[in-house]
Amino acid sequence: MLKENQDAFGRAMYDYYASGMKATHLEEVVERDDGYVDTAGGPAIYFREYRHWLPEEKKAMRYARGRVLDVGCGAGRHSLYLQGKGLDVVGIDNSPLAIEVCKQRGLKNTEVLPLSRISSKLGIFDTVIMMGNNFGLFGSYKSAKRLLKKLAGITSKNGRIIATTNDVYRTDNPDHLKYHEMNRKRGRMSGQIRLRVRYQKYTTPWLDYLMVSREEMEDILAETDWRVRKYFDFDRPMYAVVIEKKK
């Protein structure tokens, strides 16, 4: 769980929500461990309503069914949509303020919890969603394998995972390409981005956020209980994947 002074993106979401979702100047900053900084466009995206989602996101979301675990639920846009459809949804996030926003917006079941701490205490799920590039929360090749095993243990026989990720190889930004190369040299996956989020005086700890190509996705799933069922390509270097249990 993030401490109060670490809850950078939660604080940005909270401030944006408290402004009546009007403030445009409240932007979190993403700092990569090579010193590259980027702004993420502000928290508005975490509140985007279904009708403004990308078409592929909508398509992927149709695969959600039964009891749903939303990992890194943020301001709860996916959870609230599915809850509105009548599904039983649990939203978890390691940001206390993100969860506070979810509660205020009407999400019934929430817990302040990072992916690494999930357990059977949450019950059994039919669908795990990791939207908004949250495949990244798997962190690294090794921890993805470990966490996929954990997820297998808390999902039903026909359980599935719906996730989105950037395909990091689809860029021509020389700074990004150089960073990928640095990663490979230090024995990390190209898209294993070491970053921290900053907002005003709030700074998250450094964390690994993993973005993978389709091939790498399948390499990670090999020798796990999971396999790819379907991909959805976005009109940008990003895709959604529906992962299901091997029969």
Distance, in Å, from the CA atom of 128 to the CA atom of 89, rounded to the nearest integer, reads 10
In angstroms, give the least distance from the CB of 10 to a second copy: 16
Name residues whose C-beta falls within 8 Å of residue 205's C-beta, 6 or more positions apart in sequence: 6, 196
Tokens of 147: 């966490």
In angstroms, give the least distance from the CB of 27 to a second copy: 5
Q: Give 109's strand partners.
A: 90
Shorter beta-carbon distance to a second copy: residue 36 or 50 = 36
Shorter beta-carbon distance to a second copy: residue 120 or 173 = 173
Residues in binding contact with a second copy, number by CB under 8 A: 16
35 binds a second copy (CB under 8 A): yes
In angstroms, give the least distance from the CB of 193 to a second copy: 14
CB half-sphere exposure, 84, CA atoms < 13 A? 11
CB half-sphere exposure, 128, CA atoms < 13 A? 32
Question: Other C-beta atoms within 10 Å of 160: how many?
Answer: 22
Site for a second copy in 83-102 (CB under 8 A): none
Distance, in Å, from the CA atom of 82 to the CA atom of 60, rounded to the nearest integer, reads 12
Distance, in Å, from the CA atom of 83 to the CA atom of 78, rounded to the nearest integer, reads 8
Shorter beta-carbon distance to a second copy: residue 116 or 200 = 200
Shorter beta-carbon distance to a second copy: residue 37 or 222 = 37
Site for a second copy in 196-225 (CB under 8 A): 198-201, 203
The residue from 3, 4, 19, 37 that contacts a second copy (CB under 8 A) is 37
The footprint of a second copy (CB under 8 A) covers 25, 27, 29, 34-39, 41, 175, 198-201, 203
